[in-house]
Structure 1
Amino acid sequence: MAQDTSGNSVYQTEALIAEDIDSYLETHQHKTMLRFITCGSVDDGKSTLIGRLLYDSKMIFEDQLDALSADSKKVGTQGQEIDFALLVDGLAAEREQGITIDVAYRFFNTEKRKFIVADCPGHEQYTRNMVTGASTADLAVILIDARKGVLVQTRRHSYLCHLIGIKNIVLAVNKMDLVDYDQARFDAIVADYAKFASEIGIESFTALPISGFKGDNITAAPSEKTPWYVGPSLVEHLEGVAVLSEVASQKPFRMPVQWVNRPNLDFRGFSGLIATGSVKPGDAVRALPSGKTSTVKSIVTYDGDLEEAIAGQAVTITLDDEIDCSRGDVLCVADNPPETADQFEATLVWLNDEDLHVGRGYWLKLGTQTVSATVQQPKHRVDVNTMDELAAKTLSLNDIGVAEVYADKALVFESYADNRTLGGFILVDKITNATVAAGMLNFSLRRSQNVHWQASDITREHHASMKNQTPRVLWFTGLSGSGKSTIANEVEKKLALMNRHTFLLDGDNVRHGLNKDLGFTEADRIENIRRIGEVAKLMTDAGLIVLTAFISPFRAERQMVREMLEGHEFVEIFVDTPLEVAEERDVKGLYKKARAGNLKNFTGIDSPYEAPEAPEITVNTVEMSPEEAANYIIDKILPLK
Structure 2
Amino acid sequence: MSHQSELIATDIDAYLKQHENKEMLRFLTCGSVDDGKSTLIGRLLYDSKMIYEDQLAAIEKDSATVGTTGGGFDPALLTDGLKAEREQGITIDVAYRYFSTAKRKFIIADTPGHEQYTRNMATGASTCDLAIILIDARHGVMTQTRRHSFIVSLLGIKHVIIAVNKMDLVDYAEEAYDQIKKDYTEFSSSLDGMGDLHFIPISALDGDNVVDKSEKMSWYDGSTMMHMLENVHIASDRNLIDFRFPVQYVNRPHLDFRGFCGTIASGRIHKGDEVMVLPSRKTSRVKEIVTYDGNIEEAFTPQSITLTLQDEIDCSRGDMLVRPNNVPNSTDSFDATIVWMSENALTPGKQFLFKQTTRQATGSISKLRYRIDVNTLHRNDADKLDLNEIGRCEVRLNQAIALDGYKRNKGTGAFIVIDRVTNVTVGAGMILDRSSSDKTDHWDEEADSHLTGTVSEVTPTERAGRYGQQPATVLFTGLAGSGKTTLVQALERKLFDQGRAVCALDGQNMRRGISRDLGFTANDRSENLRRSAEVAKVVNDAGLICLGAFIAPSEDVRQKAADVVGRDKFLVVHCDAPIEVCRQRDTEGHYKAADEGDIANMPGVTSKYEAPTAPDLVLKTAEQDVEACVVAVLELLEKRSVVG
Query: What amino acid is the match of 1:160?
Result: I
Question: What SS does the aligned partner of 2:334 have?
Answer: strand
Question: What SS does the aligned partner of 1:443 have?
Answer: coil
Return closer, same or farther for 1:131/1:17 CA change in 2, 3 Å cut-off. Answer: closer
Tell me the matched-pair count.
431
Q: Which residue of 2 aligns with 1:314?
A: 304
* Alpha-carbon distance between aligned partners in 2 of 1:234 and 1:16, rounded to the nearest angstrom: 27
Q: Which residue of 2 aligns with 1:433?
A: 423
Question: What SS does the aligned partner of 2:149 have?
Answer: helix
Question: Which of 143, 166, 183 lines up with 2:134 in the alignment?
Answer: 143
Q: Which residue of 2 aligns with 1:340?
A: 330
- Normalised by the size of structure 1, how large is the TM-score? 0.65
Any residues of structure 2 matched to 1:496-515 within 5 Å, and which? none
| CA displacement, residues 565-610 of structure 1 (integer Å, 9 cap, x when unaligned) | xxxxxxxxxxxxxxxxxxxxxxxxxxxxxxxxxxxxxxxxxxxxxx
Shift, 1:249, TM fit:
5.1
Shift, 1:68, TM fit:
1.3
Any residues of structure 2 matched to 1:393-472 within 5 Å, and which? 393-443=383-433
* Alpha-carbon distance between aligned partners in 1 of 2:56 and 2:286, rounded to the nearest angstrom: 53
Q: Which residue of 1 aligns with 2:145?
A: 154
* Alpha-carbon distance between aligned partners in 2 of 1:75 and 1:301, rounded to the nearest angstrom: 47
| CA displacement, residues 501-548 of structure 1 (integer Å, 9 cap, x when unaligned) | xxxxxxxxxxxxxxxxxxxxxxxxxxxxxxxxxxxxxxxxxxxxxxxx
Return closer, same or farther for 1:349/1:81 CA change in 2, 3 Å cut-off. Answer: same
Q: Which residue of 2 aligns with 1:166?
A: 157
If you compute each CA radius of gyration, which structure gives the higher value, 1 or 2?
A: 1
Q: Which residue of 1 aligns with 2:87?
A: 96
Shift, 1:76, TM fit:
5.5
Question: What SS does the aligned partner of 1:214 have?
Answer: coil
Question: What SS does the aligned partner of 1:250 have?
Answer: coil
Contact 2:159 2:195 in 1 (8 A): no
Return closer, same or farther for 1:289/1:76 CA change in 2, 3 Å cut-off. Answer: closer
Question: What SS does the aligned partner of 2:39 have?
Answer: helix
Contact 2:131 2:159 in 1 (8 A): yes
Is structure 2 residue 45 aligned with structure 1 residue 54? yes
Contact 1:248 1:275 in 2 (8 A): no
Contact 2:261 2:304 in 1 (8 A): yes
* Alpha-carbon distance between aligned partners in 1 of 2:14 and 2:187, rounded to the nearest angstrom: 47
Shift, 1:241, TM fit:
2.2
Contact 1:287 1:330 in 2 (8 A): yes
- Normalised by the size of structure 2, how large is the TM-score? 0.65
| CA displacement, residues 137-167 of structure 1 (integer Å, 9 cap, x when unaligned) | 1110000011111111110000011011111
Return closer, same or farther for 1:228/1:18 CA change in 2, 3 Å cut-off. Answer: closer
* Alpha-carbon distance between aligned partners in 2 of 1:302 and 1:224, rounded to the nearest angstrom: 49
Question: What SS does the aligned partner of 1:427 have?
Answer: strand
Query: What amino acid is the match of 1:43?
Result: D
Question: Which of 321, 325, 342 lines up with 1:352 in the alignment?
Answer: 342
Q: Which residue of 1 aligns with 2:32?
A: 41
Shift, 1:87, TM fit:
1.1
* Alpha-carbon distance between aligned partners in 2 of 1:47 and 1:361, rounded to the nearest angstrom: 39
Query: What amino acid is the match of 1:350?
Result: W
Question: Which of 218, 232, 249 lines up with 2:210 in the alignment?
Answer: 218
Contact 2:369 2:392 in 1 (8 A): yes
Shift, 1:194, TM fit:
0.6
Query: What amino acid is the match of 2:367?
Result: Q
Is structure 2 residue 191 aligned with structure 1 residue 175? no
Query: What amino acid is the match of 1:338?
Result: P
| CA displacement, residues 287-334 of structure 1 (integer Å, 9 cap, x when unaligned) | 112222221111011221101111111111111222222111111122
Question: What SS does the aligned partner of 2:283 have?
Answer: strand
Contact 2:67 2:77 in 1 (8 A): no
Any residues of structure 2 matched to 1:243-254 within 5 Å, and which? 243=234, 247-248=237-238, 250-254=240-244
Shift, 1:57, TM fit:
2.1
* Alpha-carbon distance between aligned partners in 2 of 1:93 and 1:372, rounded to the nearest angstrom: 37
* Alpha-carbon distance between aligned partners in 2 of 1:246 and 1:285, rounded to the nearest angstrom: 24
Shift, 1:443, TM fit:
3.1
Shift, 1:397, TM fit:
0.8
* Alpha-carbon distance between aligned partners in 2 of 1:322 and 1:57, rounded to the nearest angstrom: 53
Question: What SS does the aligned partner of 1:159 have?
Answer: helix
Contact 1:377 1:392 in 2 (8 A): no
Query: What amino acid is the match of 2:162?
Result: L
Q: Which residue of 1 aligns with 2:177?
A: 186
Shift, 1:77, TM fit:
5.1
* Alpha-carbon distance between aligned partners in 1 of 2:87 and 2:397, rounded to the nearest angstrom: 45
Shift, 1:86, TM fit:
1.1
Q: Which residue of 2 aligns with 1:327?
A: 317
Is structure 2 residue 266 aligned with structure 1 residue 270? no
Is structure 2 residue 212 aligned with structure 1 residue 235? no
Query: What amino acid is the match of 1:87?
Result: L
Any residues of structure 2 matched to 1:17-36 within 5 Å, and which? 19-36=10-27
Shift, 1:358, TM fit:
2.0
* Alpha-carbon distance between aligned partners in 2 of 1:134 and 1:385, rounded to the nearest angstrom: 19
Query: What amino acid is the match of 1:302?
Result: Y
* Alpha-carbon distance between aligned partners in 1 of 2:195 and 2:236, rounded to the nearest angstrom: 20
Q: Which residue of 2 aligns with 1:130?
A: 121
Question: What SS does the aligned partner of 1:348 have?
Answer: strand
Contact 1:33 1:115 in 2 (8 A): yes
Return closer, same or farther for 1:250/1:351 CA change in 2, 3 Å cut-off. Answer: same
Contact 1:346 1:404 in 2 (8 A): yes
Question: Which of 286, 292, 305 lines up with 2:282 in the alignment?
Answer: 292
> Percent same amino acid at aligned positions?
55
* Alpha-carbon distance between aligned partners in 2 of 1:17 and 1:370, rounded to the nearest angstrom: 46
* Alpha-carbon distance between aligned partners in 1 of 2:101 and 2:348, rounded to the nearest angstrom: 49
* Alpha-carbon distance between aligned partners in 2 of 1:91 and 1:417, rounded to the nearest angstrom: 35
Point out where structure 2 has 5 or more consecutive residues left out of the alignment.
Answer: 1-5, 436-440, 442-644
Q: Which residue of 1 aligns with 2:55?
A: 64
* Alpha-carbon distance between aligned partners in 2 of 1:77 and 1:401, rounded to the nearest angstrom: 37
Question: What SS does the aligned partner of 2:188 have?
Answer: helix
Q: Which residue of 2 aligns with 1:484?
A: none
| CA displacement, residues 124-144 of structure 1 (integer Å, 9 cap, x when unaligned) | 111111111011111100000
CA RMSD, Structure 1 to Structure 2 (Å): 2.0
| CA displacement, residues 166-196 of structure 1 (integer Å, 9 cap, x when unaligned) | 1111101111112222222211111110110
Contact 1:343 1:406 in 2 (8 A): yes
* Alpha-carbon distance between aligned partners in 2 of 1:356 and 1:249, rounded to the nearest angstrom: 32
Q: Which residue of 2 aligns with 1:538?
A: none
* Alpha-carbon distance between aligned partners in 2 of 1:285 and 1:129, rounded to the nearest angstrom: 37
